[in-house]
A and B are shown apart, each in its own frame.
Chain A
Amino acid sequence: GAVVSQHPSRVICKSGTSVKIECRSLDFQATTMFWYRQFPKQSLMLMATSNEGSKATYEQGVEKDKFLINHASLTLSTLTVTSAHPEDSSFYICSASLQGLNQPQHFGDGTRLSIL
C-alpha cells in the first residue's frame, strides 16, 4: 500500500516552456503532499507543502508564481514550473503520507527536468 505515482519521469524542453508534473496517491487519500527539488549531489530541499482544497505553503526563497501548485483532489497534486529556464533544471520529487503524525513519506519516482 501507500504508492505514489509521479509523471512524467523525464522532461527535456526549451527555455520559456511551462512544464506540469503530476503526483498521484494511488491507493490512499492524501490531504497533504510535498514537493522537493534536488540538484546533483545535493540534499533534498522542500519547496512547498501542497494542501488539498487550499493554497500551498511555500518554503522561504521559493517563488510561488514560478512554481504553481494545485491540489484539487485527495489523490492528485500538480506542480507547474512556469517559463522554465536552464537554472530550473533539477530533479523534482513529490511525496505523500497516510493520515497521522507518525507516518513516513512515500515518494514518487521523481521527474528529471532539463531545460535547454
Chain B
Amino acid sequence: QKEVEQNSGPLSVPEGAIASLNCTYSDRGSQSFFWYRQYSGKSPELIMFIYSNGDKEDGRFTAQLNKASQYVSLLIRDSQPSDSATYLCAVNRGGSYIPTFGRGTSLIVHP
C-alpha cells in the first residue's frame, strides 16, 4: 500500500459543479495535510492546508480531514475551466517535516 493514495482520474465535471477530490494515507501519526494544484508544465502551488479533523474553508475550496478514517478531501465549489489541473495531496508524517506526495488527480472542468 502506498503511503498517500489518490485516484489518478481524470475527474471530469461540468462548469459550476462541485469537484470532489479524495486522498487516503497510511500513517496514523500524520499531522499535517496539504493540497497543491499543478498546471501542466508548471510547478505545484499550495491551495490549502489542514491539521485538525473537520472542515476548513477558503473561498471556493474546502478541505476535509478525517483522521480516524485516514482520508483528506478537497471540494471545489462552482468549478471553473481554470480549475482544470492536477491536484496533489501531501502528508507530513508524524514528527517529520518531509512531505509525502500522492500521484495526483487530474481534474477537467468542461464548459
Residues of A within 8 A of B (CB): 6, 32, 34, 42-44, 46, 49, 91, 93, 97, 100-110, 112
Contact = CB atoms under 8 A, between A and B. Distances in A.
Nearest to B98: A49
Interface of A is mostly: loop
A91 B42 CA distance: 9
A24 B101 CA distance: 22
A105 B90 CA distance: 9
A103 B99 CA distance: 10
Contacts, number: 57
Given A43-B103, A102-B32, A107 B43 contact: yes
Contact of B43 (A43, A46, A93): A93
Nearest to A44: B101
B37 to A, nearest CB: 11
Contact of B95 (A101, A105, A108): A101
Chain B contact-residue range equals 20 to 34
Contact of B51 (A44, A102, A108): A102
B55 interface: no
8 contacts: A43-B101, A43-B103, A44-B104, A105-B34, A105-B99, A106-B46, A108-B43, A112-B41
